[in-house]
Amino acid sequence: MKKVVIILLLVLPFILIYFISVTGRILEKYSHIYVESLKIQDLEDNDIIPNKPNEIRVGNSKQFKIVIGPELASNPSVLISCYNNDICSYTEENGILTVTALKYGQTTIIVSSVDRTNITASFIVKVIDDVPTGLQFAQKEMTAMPGKTYDITPPSFIPSTTKEQFKGLVWESSDEEIVKIVDANGGRIKALKEGEAIITAKSTFNSEIFATIKVNVTNQKFTDVYFDYYDTSAYVVNDKEFNLYSIIKYSDNFMNQYPEEERTNQYFFKLETNVSGVDVSKLSDGLIVFDDSKSVILIKIGIYMVSDPDSQVDLITIVFNKK
């Protein structure tokens, strides 16, 4: 009997431990509080996030609160996944989800309960950046002379804060036989023959963003003041003195606007080239004096309007060719 008691006493602790363990499991099973809801809350305004884009600027972070219901859920752990980890990264700590925007684009973050994986919440993260939304040429049209090369001022990006990295352009011509693109990534064109061509500058960021400028290739001139010379060859002068006014023409509109004595005050000439052997001290009088000890001197003279001294309205290449 004594032995039996001793054996029972020895066995009893094990039975008790087993019983406690089983009881604990049963209790755990019945006391487990399941996750019933999962919501994402914007920490800035406490709004529950519907499934709409949350805009975050590149480099910035935004915090969201993962609200697990009920609050006392046994296992509030969540799994977080993102469709595109290139666009944003995320960290989660104590129910606070911090999303950091990496790259322009849009993706979705999905938060799901570990306890019940069918309970999920997702929201769209729209990473915003200073990307172009439009392009605009300062001018819609320009004229060009056959045989001449021009640099078109690139269109301005909209918004003006567009980052440099998004500012690539590709240039195209609607008719390469009329206007040739000399540099596909720059605005250099060459007019080949008379006609019209539409030059398109497309954003390399998004080819649906583009701007166009119409290039009229013609030998005619449309500015108020221009040189009465249309040939692509240089204008040859043989005498050492040459008066630019001898080849100046005005538009009818200009002539109507200004009486004769006032016309020359509306524009000025500018020597565009750095060559020796040309005296332009009397350029304001239209006079160019060449050094006749030289046989050939090439110069370029531009016309500028006083009202807009930065814009050249015509340009001529003059060559002094001593006979």
> Which is nearer to other proteins, 124 or 315 (by Cβ)?
315
Cα(278)–Cα(284) distance, integer angstroms: 14
Q: Which span (59-67, 121-129, 150-158, 218-226) binds other proteins, by CB under 8 A?
A: 150-158
Q: Which span (148-156, 158-166, 214-222, 253-261) binds other proteins, by CB under 8 A?
A: 148-156
Give bridge partners of residue 213 from the DSSP assignment. Answer: 199
Residue 62 interacting with other proteins (CB under 8 A):
no
> 192: phi > 0 → left, psi -120 to 50 → alpha, else beta; which?
alpha
Residue 232 interacting with other proteins (CB under 8 A):
yes
* Among 38, 97, 299, 303, contact with other proteins (rule: CB under 8 A): 299
Cα(215)–Cα(139) distance, integer angstroms: 10
Q: Which span (91-99, 115-123, 230-238, 260-268) binds other proteins, by CB under 8 A?
A: 230-238
* Among 300, 304, 305, 313, contact with other proteins (rule: CB under 8 A): 300
> Which is nearer to other proteins, 105 or 277 (by Cβ)?
277
* Among 273, 282, 285, 311, contact with other proteins (rule: CB under 8 A): 273
> Which is nearer to other proteins, 90 or 226 (by Cβ)?
226
Residue 147 interacting with other proteins (CB under 8 A):
yes
Residue 149 interacting with other proteins (CB under 8 A):
yes
Q: Which of residues 275-294 bind other proteins (CB under 8 A)?
A: 275
Cα(154)–Cα(135) distance, integer angstroms: 9
> Which is nearer to other proteins, 60 or 153 (by Cβ)?
153
How big is the chain, counted in residues?
Answer: 323
Q: Which residues, including other chains, have CB under 8 Å from residue 82's CB and lie 6 or more apart?
A: 88, 89, 90, 107, 108, 109, 110, 125
Fill in the per-residue mask, 187 to 206: x = in contact with other proteins (CB under 8 A), - = not in contact: xx-x----------------
Q: Which residues, including other chains, have CB under 8 Å from residue 47's CB and lie 6 or more apart?
A: 41
What's the start-to-end Cα distance of the chain, in Å?
A: 147
Cα(79)–Cα(88) distance, integer angstroms: 16
In angstroms, give the least distance from the CB of 134 to other proteins: 18
Q: Which span (2-10, 66-74, 129-137, 296-304) binds other proteins, by CB under 8 A?
A: 296-304
Element (H, E) at 169: strand 169-173
Cα(273)–Cα(95) distance, integer angstroms: 70
Cα(195)–Cα(313) distance, integer angstroms: 20
Residue 167 interacting with other proteins (CB under 8 A):
no
Which residue in 82, 131, 134, 85 sits closest to 111, CA to CA?
82
The token pair at 82 is: 């993102």
In angstroms, give the least distance from the CB of 78 to other proteins: 30
Residue 313 interacting with other proteins (CB under 8 A):
no
The DSSP code for 48 is B
> Which is nearer to other proteins, 113 or 162 (by Cβ)?
162
Residue 33 interacting with other proteins (CB under 8 A):
no
Residue 184 interacting with other proteins (CB under 8 A):
no
Cα(252)–Cα(133) distance, integer angstroms: 41
Residue 319 interacting with other proteins (CB under 8 A):
yes
Scan for tokens 């009465």, then name that residue. Answer: 228
Site residues (vs other proteins, CB under 8 A): 147-151, 153-154, 182-183, 186-188, 190, 232-234, 236, 272-275, 296, 298-300, 302, 317, 319, 321
